Amino acid sequence: MKIGIISDTHIPGSIPELWPEVRTVFKGVDLILHAGDLETTKVLDWLEEIAPVLAAEGNHDQGLSEYDHRIEKKQFMDIEGFRLGMTHIIDSWDQFSAKKVVKTYLGELPDIVVCGDSHFEFIKWEDDMLIINAGSATYPHNKEARLGHVVLLEIHEGKKPSAEIIDLSTI
């Protein structure tokens, strides 16, 4: 299964609509995960033209989960034998073990963790968990509105999941 991961689009605060490069990168994915700070569900409508979409409610999205079934404060799913958990905010990586941080924010220890909020992209393996933050597609590194980052995640039963950060400015 191929999954597109995006976060912190902040539309329309950042730009009027998603960059077309996102559509190019996500073409052919089976699922898209948005790790929060959408600001409008129109982002999910646009992404859903590419593939089914699920989102975590971000701190700029208060109330969106109340009327859109695609958005939850936390999302959990089992994919190809792996447990994936997604929420918007997970921090304190530098203060505590990944297990402690993830358990605090998600309430369980999935195999794959997807988060957002920081606007800084990273992929790391820690405590046997694949931890992914796509950064921001529109406000990378909390700077001005410009092409940012997304992630492509591949999950195949019986194989170690792999993820790749895609810099939209190179598309």
Mean of pLDDT over the chain: 95
Please enumerate in sequence order all residues whose Cβ is within 8 A of that of 47, keeping only pairs 6 or more positions apart, or say none.
Answer: 4, 6, 18, 22, 26, 32, 34, 53
The reported pLDDT for the residue numbered 97 is 86
Query: Domain 2-170, CATH 3.60.21.10 — does that match?
Result: yes
Q: Please say if the pLDDT value at position 24 is more than 80.
A: yes
Is the per-residue pLDDT at 92 higher than 80?
A: no
Range from 2-6, 61-65, 82-86, 110-114 carrying the lowest mean pLDDT? 61-65
pLDDT of residue 62: 87
Residue 96 three-state SS: coil
Which uninterrupted H or E stretch holds 5? strand 2-6
d(CA 118, CA 128) in angstroms, rounded, equals: 22
Torsional class of 128: left (φ above 0), alpha (ψ -120 to 50), beta (otherwise) = left
Report domain extents, the chain. Answer: 2-170
Residues 130-151 have pLDDT tens digits of 999 999 999 999 989 999 999 9
Identify the pLDDT of residue 156: 97
125 forms bridges with which residues in the sheet? 130
Token pair recorded at residue 99: 């297990």
* pLDDT tens-place string over residues 26-81: 999 999 999 999 999 999 999 999 999 999 999 999 889 999 999 999 999 999 99
In angstroms, the CA 32 to CA 84 distance is 13
